[in-house]
Structure 1
Amino acid sequence: MTLSGALYQTKVVNRDGIEGKTYVDEKEGFEVAVSSPMSERKGTNPEQLLGMALATCLKATIEAEETRRKIDHLSQVSVKVELREDTLGYQFVLETEISMPHLSKQEAGSILEVALRRCPMHKLLKGNATYQVHLI
């Protein structure tokens, strides 16, 4: 299935569950070992992958705005992901911190405001009570 108007499309497959491998189904795709965060088994997990996706997407969007404004790329995005129990099983809680120490609080806030409007991962997560973004 091709999404109408898609600029990029990929397919990620997991046949093994939480103890096995997940791979990108493309010619030059890659494979990663996955394991439960509660396990001693080596491998990444959904919490880490979600955090990496959000941190990378938001940082790239901030960089695009920094480039537009001709500002050096010295910002940093960190995402803390927690797995918590809830009434129906589990939920992720994400706390995102953005640091732009090279900029005034006002300019950093202005860049972040634009980035949050543009970042696809933020658009996906915003409105969730378990997702927060802080400019530090």
Structure 2
Amino acid sequence: MTAILEKTLYTGQTRTTGGRDGQGKSSDGELAVRLSPPGSGRPGTNPEQLLGVGWSACFIGALRRAGQAQSIRLPDDVAVAADIALGNTADGGFALAAKLTVELPGLATDDKARLVEAAHQLCPYSKATRGNIEVTFEIP
């Protein structure tokens, strides 16, 4: 099922040249990154790292919204670490997999699990990847 936007809240605009050996910039000038292939040792970041940062930031926002809905106050030091893996598939193609480690210090184990599940349903990045890539969670 494809989600249809009822109202656009924001549109991020970027332009990338050169692929994994290029650069990417946002239209507002706030983002300018040099790109390099993973493991190349050359200066720059890669699309997997950028996806991890974006997804983690969005997921924290979804955790906050889930916390409000469940009357659970999130700790000030909430954090999400993302491991985005790029790999080969059996058919010779490429695919991604993700592991999100969600740090919610001071909360009860049951509360942590409920918040992560609710956030995974709310987060637009989670929705975009659901059913398309393997996603696992670690909740220490």
CA contact 2:98–2:133 (8 Å) conserved in 1: no
TM-aligned CA deviation for residue 9 of structure 1: 0.6
Residue of structure 2 in register with 1:8 after alignment:
10
Structure 1 consecutive aligned stretches of length 4 or more whose deviation exceeds 6 Å: none
Cα distance, 1:129–1:13 mapped onto 2, change above 3 Å = closer
CA contact 1:63–1:73 (8 Å) conserved in 2: no
Alpha-carbon distance in 2 for matches of 1:89, 1:59: 31
Residue of structure 2 in register with 1:94 after alignment:
98
CA contact 1:77–1:99 (8 Å) conserved in 2: yes
Alpha-carbon distance in 2 for matches of 1:122, 1:35: 26
TM-aligned CA deviation for residue 106 of structure 1: 1.3
Residue of structure 2 in register with 1:37 after alignment:
38
1:130 has 2:131 as partner: no
Alpha-carbon distance in 1 for matches of 2:56, 2:63: 10
TM-score (norm 2): 0.82
1:119 has 2:120 as partner: no
TM-score (norm 1): 0.84
1:74 has 2:77 as partner: yes
CA contact 1:74–1:102 (8 Å) conserved in 2: no
Give the residue type in structure 1 aligned to 2:96. Answer: F
Any idea what SS the aligned residue of 1:53 has?
A: helix
Q: Gapped runs of 5+ residues in structure 1?
A: none
CA contact 1:81–1:93 (8 Å) conserved in 2: yes
